[in-house]
Structure 1
Amino acid sequence: MSTSVLDSVVYRHLWGTDEVRGLLDETARLQGWLDILAKLAEAQAEVGIIPADCAQMICEHADVALLDIDEIAEQTRATGHSTLGLIRCLQQVLPEPAREWVYYGATVQDLTDTWFATVMRSVGDIVQRDLKTLESEAVRLAVEHRDTIMCGRTHGQPGLPITFGYKAAVWVSELRRHLERLREGRTRWEFVQLGGALGTMEFWGDAAVPMLRAFARRMELKVPEIPWLTSRDRISEFVTLLAMISATIGKIGQEIYELQRPEIDELQEPHKHGTVGSITMPHKVNPEISEHLVTLSRLVRADASVALEGILSEHERDGRSWKCEWVVVPEACQLACVATRLAIDLLSGLRVNTQRMRDNLIARGGYVQSAAALRTLSGSVGKHTAQQLLYDATMKGIGDRSSLAEALLSDSRIHRYLTADQIADVIESADVLGSARYFIDTVIQNGGAS
């Protein structure tokens, strides 16, 4: 029985995807390691290190279905070595001539780090695909709601008018930068690891570098300029990017979580009939998706902090660094990928209450126009003096529960410079959005650049 929600039959749909799980579960990992051993044998045969017929035998038998996983586990415990149990079990199914040539001169990190490079490549493909879909959903919202006026908020309080399209365009821009980081980062992550005991490849003599190149070619990965046994920055960067992507997704979820509060009621996440919010309060419809995106984001950020610790690696090999990665890399991949999929569902089914957005703006009694009043009054008395006058008037008006127009008209110092008609023009001005639409259009038009 599973002890982790990531693998729980009941809960795993919330903590990962079957697609990523299929890349990372134990059978897939062991098969990935066996595939690497097969490619290594082929590369060694190509440069004359091991016999070609033995390399062929290794390739033919590098199949997890031929091995007893329980026996691998028992041998791993017996030897206390991370991969020797696998090697011994593979040797048992190999023809006798090939047994001494498998895993020839390689070490644990040659196997496991190269596998992580393939994981970063595969998960990178998945994240890139799903981020593009998520970006498209955010673009759709930005276009559809370019002119949907709503209350912008700072420090959780009503500020100035914006449009919902402007908010969505901010999301679009941020998601595109993550796509750019992903494309750039892949040029640094997708490298084989093949260094032998300390990274010097001394075991293979003069054939070492040709073998390295042959191995990288077969793995469809790049050749590093130097083995990266203690250089964990590649994996740290990858997990950190997953954390950044998850943080953006969490931010989107948090925004939707807040704006669907009934007292605000500007957004509602998709809700399927039959979904129960509470077994004690039947009326409740909880923000399950948006809330969970924040949870996932917190966990991936925690994984990133552990991955960053790996950079502080000691001497020429330090198991304290890369063994932590065995935990945080698969977890971060699962959590980030399910977050992206859930975010797509959230935005694609998001309900935007445009009337409520307008009503909430009107309910502010015109105070969201205080900046326009400040701009107008500044021309007569200067900006800082105008700010103080308006501060005094608006604080009194809010306390008296009067509108902005009433607050300004009741202050003789302001009324000295602004007539009732000028105040009405400020309150009713259609020019309340500044350059918001320009920025939305710029983001949309720059879509091809992403």
Structure 2
Amino acid sequence: MSVSAFDHPILSGLVGDEEFAALFSVVAELAAILRFEIALAEAEAEEEIISQEAAEAISAALQHYKPDVGALNRGIARDGVVIPALVEQLRQKLPEEHRTCLHFGATSQDPIDTALAMRLSQATTLLATRLDEVIESLDALERRDGGIEVMAHTRMQAAIPVRAGRKIISWRDPLMRHRARLETIRKSVTVLTFGGAAGTLDKLGEKGPAVAARLARKLGLNLVARARHSERDGIVDFASFLSLVTGSLGKMGQDVALMAQNEMGEVQVAEGGGSSAMPHKQNPVKAEILVTLARFNATLLSGMHHALIHENERSGAAWTLEWMLLPQMVVATGAALRIANELAGGITFATRKAAP
């Protein structure tokens, strides 16, 4: 066991996903934060808040920055956020006359939340691709095996014969609905966060909105009327979406695991897991993991709802809880979609008489 199964060198092979996990690496987070700071300096130079020379110096210094991770570790233990220690390191790389121009008008939450939004933009693109892949695999399974007769079960008891297509549709159609909702969800999380100390951009005066608009364009993010420092409904709606996706995939996994039982024999799994004691067994590992990841996300979703509760203009407690939960939910969903696609392409319904 380990603190997190998703980045464990062994357990990650069961539940992890390298492509999604990379979005939440230290390298990816710092790169996104630096991109925010460079874009902010450029936007402020264009609005003549800082000099063009200062913006160029900031860009040059940040593009070649090598972090002192130990100092950042100590800094976040002291400050609760990484930005004060990071900005201190970055300013040491700048000529003294330009140091105050870095991070001007911003607060710690601005680069952290914006860096998350940039990475969630990539995550939602990946989620869309993987949802499409699972839907296509289930379409192919329905075309091939949809006419095979299987037994329907209600409340775990045999009911009446139905076509396999009936079961496959119950796996596919919720995913199609999730795919349609994803575009709306994406817009609510890929937003610029830029508000300064208390969300009012007070240091920038009347030029604040213009700087924000330029910054949003440079980073490819949606511009909202004000920074949502303590309004976390968009992030939590995204977490709810993730739990819905894994929940729907978990239903598919549960069905497959039940139908693959020896006494049922309604589906055959191409890649079953072996047993150290019983070599005749072919365990439906992928189906089981879909159930596990669904339950995992459903459990973490409760925590994300707790993270909605920010006191006043910013909460250190609620914000930190969000950092601990959301990345795991994203990785779990990415892994579940990959595994579901593999499962859908690797099961075969047992040939029986077609339903009339």
* Distance in structure 2 (CA, Å) of the matches to 1:47 and 1:120: 28
Deviation at 1:2, TM superposition (A): 6.9
Deviates more, 1:282-291 or 1:119-128: 282-291
* Distance in structure 2 (CA, Å) of the matches to 1:322 and 1:161: 51
* Distance in structure 1 (CA, Å) of the matches to 2:127 and 2:79: 37
CA contact (8 A) 2:72 2:82 kept: no
* Distance in structure 2 (CA, Å) of the matches to 1:210 and 1:10: 49
Deviation at 1:4, TM superposition (A): 2.3
> Which of the residues 328, 347, 355 maps onto 1:350?
347
Match in the other structure for 1:95: 95
Deviation at 1:85, TM superposition (A): 1.2
Q: What residue identity is the alignment partner of 2:68?
A: D
Match in the other structure for 1:85: 85
> Relative to 1, partners in 2 of residues 1:214 and 1:251: Cα closer, same or farther, differing over 3 Å?
same
Match in the other structure for 1:190: 190
Deviates more, 1:168-177 or 1:227-236: 168-177
Gaps of 5+ in 1: 362-429, 432-450
Q: What residue identity is the alignment partner of 1:343?
A: A
Q: What residue identity is the alignment partner of 2:90?
A: L
Q: What residue identity is the alignment partner of 1:160?
A: I
* Distance in structure 2 (CA, Å) of the matches to 1:61 and 1:247: 45
* Distance in structure 2 (CA, Å) of the matches to 1:24 and 1:63: 20
> Relative to 1, partners in 2 of residues 1:64 and 1:167: Cα closer, same or farther, differing over 3 Å?
farther
Match in the other structure for 1:172: 172
Q: What residue identity is the alignment partner of 2:317?
A: R
Match in the other structure for 1:293: 290
* Distance in structure 1 (CA, Å) of the matches to 2:305 and 2:70: 33
1:243-392 matches, cutoff 5 A: 243-271=243-271, 275-276=273-274, 278-355=275-352, 358=353
Deviation at 1:63, TM superposition (A): 3.8
Q: Does 1:48 align with 2:45?
A: no
Please give the per-residue CA displacement for 1:203-237, whole angstroms capped at 9, x wherever unaligned.
Answer: 21111010110110111111112221111001001
Match in the other structure for 1:22: 22
> Relative to 1, partners in 2 of residues 1:64 and 1:122: Cα closer, same or farther, differing over 3 Å?
farther
1:35-74 matches, cutoff 5 A: 35-63=35-63, 66-74=66-74
* Distance in structure 1 (CA, Å) of the matches to 2:22 and 2:212: 28
Higher RCO (Cα < 8 Å, 6 or more apart): 2
CA contact (8 A) 2:75 2:82 kept: no
* Distance in structure 2 (CA, Å) of the matches to 1:30 and 1:189: 19
Match in the other structure for 2:155: 155
Q: How well do the aligned residues superpose, as a CA RMSD in angstroms?
A: 1.9
* Distance in structure 2 (CA, Å) of the matches to 1:220 and 1:52: 22
Match of 1:62, SS state, is helix
Q: Does 1:237 align with 2:234?
A: no
1:406-425 matches, cutoff 5 A: none
Relative to the length of structure 2, the TM-score reads 0.95
Match of 2:150, SS state, is strand
Deviation at 1:16, TM superposition (A): 2.4
CA contact (8 A) 1:34 1:64 kept: no
Bigger radius of gyration, 1 or 2?
1
CA contact (8 A) 2:146 2:168 kept: no
* Distance in structure 1 (CA, Å) of the matches to 2:94 and 2:336: 42
Match in the other structure for 1:440: none
Gaps of 5+ in 2: none
Deviation at 1:354, TM superposition (A): 1.9
* Distance in structure 2 (CA, Å) of the matches to 1:186 and 1:15: 24
Match in the other structure for 1:199: 199
Match of 1:313, SS state, is coil
CA contact (8 A) 1:144 1:165 kept: no
Match in the other structure for 1:216: 216
Q: What residue identity is the alignment partner of 1:290?
A: A
CA contact (8 A) 1:146 1:165 kept: yes
Match of 2:7, SS state, is coil
Match of 1:323, SS state, is helix
Q: What residue identity is the alignment partner of 1:118?
A: M
* Distance in structure 1 (CA, Å) of the matches to 2:228 and 2:14: 34
CA contact (8 A) 1:17 1:337 kept: yes
CA contact (8 A) 2:257 2:284 kept: yes
CA contact (8 A) 1:114 1:192 kept: yes
CA contact (8 A) 1:233 1:311 kept: yes
Q: What residue identity is the alignment partner of 1:186?
A: R
Match of 1:94, SS state, is coil
* Distance in structure 2 (CA, Å) of the matches to 1:306 and 1:248: 20
Deviation at 1:312, TM superposition (A): 2.5
CA contact (8 A) 1:45 1:52 kept: yes
* Distance in structure 1 (CA, Å) of the matches to 2:64 and 2:56: 16
